[in-house]
Every structure is written in structure tokens, then in C-alpha cells.
């Protein structure tokens, strides 16, 4: 992680760390490197993750992380060979991520907690990324000087550090109502008066369940809806 800190965005680094700590290390952390390619643990891992309903593209990404670490170890002469060299990676699913439909959006919105409703409407009207950097860091100071734009701190993807997104008049009025409710200061999306530091994934899943939506539907699909 230290070696690649300048190559990864903050989001990529967080995802990599979480995958390693919660998934990869518990599965392979106790093995000697030399054993990994010979005891079919990689095949067992793939079968286990597939049985759990994890998509091939995700499994492919997880094992790519492991392979990248081994490649780094070879370059640094920490290990002699990469035990995953020549190992066949699972094919990617190639599934299209579809924008959320108007019907599903309204269903989830109707069942969501107030802070999730805010998050959904902000994402729907600005196309921002629904994570800690872009969505959850928004404060009322970011509601532009003339109340016509929303200033967004961009996720670290190599582009602009921040951007101003123009807002529809109807959403400007909604923002003003929220601001009045909040007293004109603080974070735009919050929980029990406090900043949400990581994500609203749990609350999103709860809203989906209450709305009767059982299929795959991510917060990110709202961003796709904005684009369309």
C-alpha cells in the first residue's frame, strides 16, 4: 500500500485495504507463499465466493490485488517467483450497470430514512459520487453564493479538485427548505446531528428492503441516472 500510494485514488486505497483486511487475509494470510499455487486454495476461494453470490468481476478484482502484491514482491526480490504466475483468472461477467428507473427511485425514496432521502435527491440532481468524499463532506457553505450551484469536492480520480454543479430551480427550493430546517449550517447529509464519515450503505439496504426491491440496486446507479 505504501509503495502504491501515489498510484491509487483515496477510494481505491480504501477499497483495497478493506478487501485485504476482511476477505483476503482471513482466507490466505496464514499460508506460506510457496503453498498458494499448489494446494488449490485459489480454486476453493473462487468456488466459495461464487457460492456466496459474489460476481466473477469482483472475484477477478480481488485476486488481481493478490497477484499485484506478489508481482511487487518479485520486483523487490522479497520472493523468487509469483505463485500465481500462469494461474487462470475467472472471466468477468460483463454485466451492464443500469441506471435506476423512475419507479424504483420513487419506491426507495418513499421508504428511506430522511438522511437517505437527502442523499438520493442530492445525487439525483448533481450526479456526484455517493461516498464520503463527494456526498458526505457537503456542508451548507457549499450551497453556492447565489444559491444556484452546489460546490463539490471531487473524489481523487486525477481530475479537478472541486467543481460547481448548476441546480434546477425546483431543487434550489428544496435545498433552501433543508437549510432552514438545519439552521443554515452543518453537513447537508447527516445522522442524528452528526457527520456520517464513511457511507450510508446499511440505511440504503434497509430502504431497498422496505421498498420490496430484492435485485441488485446500488446507490451509484443514481449517478448513472443523472447522466442519462
Q: Do 191 and 107 meet the contact criterion of CB atoms below 8 Å apart?
A: no
Count of CB atoms situated within 10 Å of the CB of 109: 15
Q: Which CATH number fits domain 102-227: 1.10.443.10, 3.90.70.10, 1.10.3720.10, 3.40.50.300?
A: 1.10.443.10
Count of CB atoms situated within 10 Å of the CB of 41: 14
Domain ranges of the chain: 1-95, 102-227
CATH class of the domain defined by 1-95? mainly alpha
Residue 147: band (very low, low, confident or very high) from pLDDT cuts 50, 70, 90 = confident
- Give the mean pLDDT of the chain: 86
Burial 140-150 (b: 16+ CB within 10 A, else e): eebbbeeeebb
219 or 146: which leads in pLDDT: 219
Q: What global pTM score does this model have?
A: 0.62
**In whole angstroms, what is the distance from residue 147 CA to residue 167 CA?**
8
Question: Is there a common fold for 1-95 and 102-227?
Answer: no
79 or 41: which leads in pLDDT: 79
Q: What pLDDT, on the 0 to 100 scale, is given for residue 123?
A: 95
Amino acid at each position: 500500500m505504501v509503495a502504491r500510494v501515489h498510484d491509487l485514488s483515496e477510494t481505491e486505497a480504501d477499497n483495497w485495504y478493506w478487501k485485504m483486511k476482511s476477505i483476503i487475509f482471513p482466507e490466505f494470510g496464514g499460508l506460506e507463499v510457496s503453498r498458494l499455487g499448489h494446494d488449490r486454495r485459489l480454486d476453493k476461494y473462487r468456488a466459495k465466493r461464487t457460492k456466496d453470490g459474489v460476481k466473477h468481476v469482483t472475484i477477478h478484482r480481488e485476486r488481481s490485488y493478490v497477484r499485484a502484491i506478489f508481482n511487487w514482491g518479485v520486483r523487490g526480490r522479497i520472493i523468487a517467483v509469483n505463485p500465481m504466475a500462469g494461474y487462470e483468472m475467472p472471466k468477468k461477467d460483463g454485466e451492464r450497470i443500469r441506471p435506476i428507473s423512475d419507479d424504483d427511485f420513487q419506491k426507495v425514496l418513499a421508504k428511506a430514512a430522511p438522511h437517505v432521502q437527502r442523499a438520493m435527491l442530492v445525487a439525483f440532481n448533481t450526479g456526484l459520487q455517493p461516498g464520503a468524499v463527494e456526498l458526505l463532506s457537503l456542508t451548507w457553505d457549499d450551497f453556492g453564493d447565489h444559491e444556484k450551484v452546489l460546490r463539490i469536492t471531487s473524489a481523487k480520480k486525477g481530475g479537478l479538485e472541486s467543481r460547481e454543479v448548476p441546480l434546477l430551480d425546483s431543487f434550489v427550493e428544496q435545498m433552501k427548505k433543508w437549510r432552514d430546517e438545519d439552521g443554515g449550517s452543518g453537513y447537508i447529509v447527516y445522522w442524528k446531528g452528526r457527520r456520517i464519515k464513511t457511507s450510508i450503505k446499511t440505511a440504503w439496504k434497509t430502504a431497498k428492503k422496505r421498498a420490496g426491491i430484492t435485485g441488485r440496486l446500488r446507490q451509484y446507479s443514481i449517478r448513472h441516472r443523472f447522466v442519462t
